C-alpha cells in the first residue's frame, strides 16, 4: 500500500464521502490539505474572501444537498470568524463539517500563535454551537474521524461538527484508506404512537400542522403532502422553512414566523390539535412562545422530531414521536382517514386567509416612495424559474419575500429557500453564490444595505468561480430592523442605526458583477429579465424610502403608536 501525505488522505476521504466542493480561506496550518486539493481534481476548493462567508457557503450547501457542507479555515481568527456559519448550521439543523487547521502538537497548550481551545469554544459540553468537536492526533485515524464527523452531522437532528487538524499531523506519511460513504440512519415512528395520533385526529375539530426543521428530502416532503391531503389538514411552514410544504397547494396556510399573518396566529391559538413535524418550535416559530405556551401548550400538541433530546426540552407534548423526517412522513401518509372530516371548511378558510394576506390590495398597505415592494415581488414570481433558489440574510427587507413570495415546495423536487433561522446578517450573498456553484440553478438574493456590507466581498468569489447570482439590494440608509425596534422603544431618539453607504452598483462592478440602480418600480422588470439572460452576476440596487420599513406599516406609523403608548418614562 502506497503511503501519502495525511493532508492528501483527508481530501481523499472527502471525495469518498461524495464531497464536490469545499469552501474556505487558505491558512499555513493546513497547507498539506491545500496540496491535496491540487492532487484530487474531483473536488474543488472554493477560495473565499472571509471565513464567515466561507462558513455560510458551506452551510447553504448542506441545506441544498442534505449532506454536510464542508469548510476549511485556519486556527484562531479563522475559526472564530467561521463560528457565525457554525451557529447558523446549529440553529437551522443543517449538516456541516468545519475543519480547522491548528497549531503543531509540540506547541499545544502554550498559547501558541493563534491558539484556541476549540472544545471550549465550539463544544456541546460547554453550551457551544457544534454537535461534536474532535481533534485528530493520529494521521492513521483520519478515515475514522471523517466518517464519524459525517455520520454525526447527518444523524438525528442534523448539525455542525468541528474537526481540528494539527499542522504537523497533516504532514505525516500514512498508508490508510478512506471508509465507505456514510448513509444517515433512520429513526422510525413507533406504531403505537401512530395509532394514538390517529385517535387524536379523530377527536379533533380544528387541527393544524406546522412543518419545518432540517432533514427533509424530496420524498419526505411528498409524503407529507399526501398525509395532509388524506386528512384535509391545513399546513403552515415554520420560520424560514417556507419551502417544506408547497405554497401553491390549497391546504397551505402560510408561514409561521416573524411578521406572521394575524389571522394565522389567531388560528393556531384556536386550534385544538397542533402536529409539529420537524421544527424545534423555537422562539420565532412560536411567536415568542405565545402561539404555543411553554412548557405546556393549551392546544393538544404532537411533536415529531429527529432528535430524542429535543423532545420534551422546551414543550411537554401530549404525544412525542422520535423519527427522522423521511421515516416520519412515510409513516404518517399511511394512517387511514375516515371518508368525512369535520374540519374541511376550517382548512379552506386557512388557505383563503393566506391568499388574502399575500394580496397587497388587502390590509390597506399604502407605503410612501416610488418603489412598490409587493409589485417587485410579483415580478420575481412571474420571471424566476420554478426551481430558482431564493436566499436572504437577516433584516426587515426579507419580510417582503416571506409575506408575498409563493415558494414552490420541496415536494416539487428541489429546495428553493435558503435563509438563516438564527437571524444571522450577511448570509444571503454567500448562500446565493453557493447555490449557483453547488446547485447549478438560478440564484436570487434579496439583501439590505447593512446586510450586504457584511459579506458583499464574496461577489469576488463568485466571479473567480464563474458563478452567477442576482442580488436585489434594498438601500434605505440604515439598519432597518433595529431602527424599527428603536422607534417602538425610544421613539425619535435615533442612535447607532444610520448608515453612510458606498455606491453599491459601482462596488458590484468593481468586483466583476453588472451593477445597476433603479428608483422606480417600473424599471425593475427589464433589469431582472436582463440579469437572468446575461452570463455574469448582477446587483440591482433599489433606493428605498426609509418609511418603507415593514410589510405592515410605515416607520412614522410605528413612531406615532409608540408616542401614544410610551414604554419608557
**CATH superfamily entry for domain 4-174:** Thiamin diphosphate (ThDP)-binding fold, Pyr/PP domains (3.40.50.970)
- The residue behind cell 387511514 is 336
Position 545 scores a pLDDT of 87
Residue 360 banded pLDDT, cuts 50, 70, 90: confident
Kindly state the percentage of the chain with pLDDT values over 70. Answer: 99
Measured at the CA of 386, the angle between CA 385 and CA 390, to 5 degrees, comes to: 80
Between 476 and 470, the more confident residue is 470
H/E element, 161: strand 160-166
Question: What topology is assigned to 191-356 in CATH?
Answer: Rossmann fold (3.40.50)
Tell whether the model's pLDDT for residue 1 goes beyond 90: no
Cα–Cα distance, 306 to 534 (Å, whole number): 42
Position 569 scores a pLDDT of 42
Cα–Cα distance, 351 to 362 (Å, whole number): 15
pLDDT digits (tens, 9 = 90+) for 144-172: 999 999 999 999 999 999 999 999 999 99
360-564 CATH, one of 3.40.50.300, 3.40.190.10, 2.40.37.10, 3.40.50.970: 3.40.50.970
pLDDT digits (tens, 9 = 90+) for 181-219: 999 999 999 999 999 999 999 999 999 999 999 999 999
What does the mean pLDDT of the chain come to?
A: 94
The x, y and z cell numbers of residue 410, run together, are 420541496
Average pLDDT over residues 478-496: 86
The x, y and z cell numbers of residue 400, run together, are 417582503
Between 138 and 361, the more confident residue is 138
Domain with CATH 3.40.50.970 in the chain: 4-174, 360-564
- Supply the DSSP symbol for 133: E
CB 474 within 8 A of CB 104: no
Sign of the C-alpha dihedral computed for residues 290, 291, 295 and 300 taken in this order = positive
pLDDT digits (tens, 9 = 90+) for 500-544: 899 999 999 999 999 999 999 999 999 999 999 999 999 999 999
Kindly state the percentage of the chain with pLDDT values over 90. Answer: 84
Distances (CA, A) of 406 to 149, 249, 377, 420, 443: 36, 10, 10, 18, 16
pLDDT digits (tens, 9 = 90+) for 41-84: 999 999 999 999 999 999 999 999 999 999 999 999 999 999 99
The DSSP code sequence of 45-105 is EEE-SSHHHHHHHHHHHHHHHSS-EEEEE-TTHHHHHHHHHHHHHHHHT--EEEEEEE--G
Query: Phi and psi for 506 in degrees, rounded to 5?
Result: -65, -40
Query: Which positions ≥6 away from 259 have C-beta within 8 Å?
Result: 399, 402, 403, 550, 551, 552
Cα–Cα distance, 468 to 488 (Å, whole number): 39
pTM of structure: 0.96
3-state secondary structure of 37: helix
Between 365 and 274, the more confident residue is 274
Domain with CATH 3.40.50.1220 in the chain: 191-356
Q: Which of 243-247, 314-318, 365-369, 387-391 has the lowest mean pLDDT?
A: 365-369
- The residue behind cell 418600480 is 521
pLDDT digits (tens, 9 = 90+) for 319-359: 999 999 999 999 999 999 999 999 999 999 999 999 999 99
Average pLDDT over residues 236-263: 96
Cα–Cα distance, 569 to 564 (Å, whole number): 12
Position 568 scores a pLDDT of 55
- The residue behind cell 509540540 is 106
Residue 364 banded pLDDT, cuts 50, 70, 90: low
On the question of a cis peptide bond just before residue 295, with omega within 30 degrees of 0, the verdict is: yes
Tell whether the model's pLDDT for residue 494 goes beyond 80: yes
Amino acid at each position: 500500500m502506497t503511503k501519502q501525505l495525511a493532508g492528501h488522505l483527508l481530501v481523499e476521504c472527502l471525495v469518498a464521502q461524495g464531497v464536490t466542493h469545499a469552501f474556505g480561506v487558505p491558512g499555513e496550518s493546513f497547507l498539506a490539505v491545500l496540496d491535496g486539493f491540487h492532487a484530487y481534481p474531483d473536488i474543488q476548493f472554493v477560495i473565499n474572501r472571509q471565513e464567515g462567508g466561507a462558513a455560510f457557503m458551506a452551510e447553504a450547501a448542506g441545506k441544498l444537498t442534505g449532506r454536510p457542507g464542508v469548510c476549511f479555515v485556519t486556527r484562531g481568527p479563522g475559526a472564530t470568524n467561521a463560528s457565525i456559519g457554525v451557529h447558523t448550521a446549529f440553529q437551522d439543523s443543517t449538516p456541516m463539517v468545519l475543519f480547522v487547521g491548528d497549531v503543531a502538537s509540540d506547541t499545544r497548550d502554550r498559547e501558541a500563535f493563534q491558539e484556541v481551545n476549540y472544545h471550549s469554544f465550539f463544544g456541546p459540553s460547554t453550551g457551544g454551537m457544534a454537535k461534536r468537536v474532535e481533534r485528530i492526533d493520529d494521521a492513521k485515524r483520519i478515515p475514522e474521524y471523517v466518517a464519524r464527523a459525517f455520520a454525526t452531522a447527518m444523524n438525528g437532528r442534523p448539525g455542525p461538527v468541528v474537526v481540528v487538524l494539527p499542522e504537523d499531523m497533516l504532514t505525516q506519511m500514512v498508508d490508510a484508506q478512506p471508509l465507505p460513504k456514510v448513509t444517515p440512519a433512520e429513526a422510525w415512528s413507533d406504531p403505537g404512537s401512530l395509532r394514538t395520533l390517529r385517535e387524536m385526529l379523530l377527536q379533533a375539530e380544528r387541527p393544524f400542522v406546522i412543518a419545518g426543521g432540517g432533514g427533509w428530502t424530496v420524498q419526505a416532503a411528498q409524503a407529507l403532502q399526501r398525509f395532509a391531503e388524506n386528512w384535509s389538514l391545513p399546513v403552515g411552514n415554520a420560520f424560514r422553512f417556507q419551502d417544506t410544504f408547497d405554497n401553491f397547494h390549497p391546504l397551505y396556510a402560510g408561514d409561521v414566523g416573524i411578521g406572521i399573518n394575524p389571522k394565522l396566529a389567531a388560528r393556531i391559538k384556536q386550534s385544538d390539535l397542533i402536529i409539529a413535524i420537524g421544527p424545534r418550535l423555537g422562539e420565532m416559530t412560536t411567536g415568542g412562545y405565545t402561539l404555543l405556551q411553554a412548557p405546556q401548550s393549551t392546544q393538544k400538541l404532537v411533536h415529531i422530531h429527529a432528535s430524542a433530546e429535543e423532545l420534551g426540552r422546551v414543550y411537554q407534548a401530549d404525544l412525542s414521536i422520535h423519527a427522522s423526517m423521511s421515516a416520519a412522513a412515510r409513516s404518517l401518509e399511511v394512517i387511514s382517514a375516515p371518508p368525512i372530516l369535520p374540519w374541511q371548511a376550517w382548512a379552506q378558510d386557512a388557505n383563503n386567509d393566506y391568499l388574502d394576506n399575500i394580496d397587497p390590495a388587502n390590509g390597506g398597505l399604502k407605503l410612501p416612495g416610488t418603489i412598490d415592494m409587493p409589485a417587485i415581488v410579483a415580478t420575481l414570481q412571474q420571471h424566476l424559474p420554478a426551481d430558482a433558489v431564493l436566499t436572504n440574510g437577516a433584516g426587515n427587507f426579507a419580510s417582503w419575500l416571506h409575506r408575498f413570495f409563493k415558494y414552490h415546495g420541496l415536494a416539487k423536487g428541489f429546495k428553493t429557500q435558503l435563509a438563516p433561522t438564527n437571524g444571522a446578517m450577511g448570509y444571503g450573498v454567500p448562500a446565493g453564490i453557493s447555490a449557483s456553484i453547488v446547485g447549478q440553478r438560478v440564484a436570487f438574493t434579496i439583501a439590505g444595505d447593512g446586510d450586504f456590507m457584511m459579506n458583499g466581498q464574496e461577489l469576488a468569489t463568485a466571479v473567480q468561480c464563474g458563478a452567477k447570482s442576482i442580488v436585489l439590494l434594498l438601500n434605505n440608509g440604515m439598519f432597518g430592523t433595529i431602527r424599527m425596534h428603536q422607534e417602538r422603544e425610544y421613539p425619535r431618539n435615533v442612535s447607532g442605526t444610520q448608515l453612510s453607504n458606498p455606491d453599491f452598483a459601482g462596488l458590484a462592478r468593481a468586483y466583476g458583477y453588472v451593477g445597476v440602480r433603479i428608483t422606480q418600480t417600473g424599471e425593475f422588470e427589464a433589469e431582472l429579465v436582463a440579469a437572468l439572460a446575461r452570463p455574469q452576476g448582477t446587483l440591482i440596487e433599489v433606493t428605498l424610502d426609509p418609511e418603507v420599513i415593514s410589510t405592515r406599516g410605515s416607520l412614522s406609523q410605528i413612531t406615532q403608536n409608540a408616542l401614544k403608548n410610551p414604554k419608557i418614562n
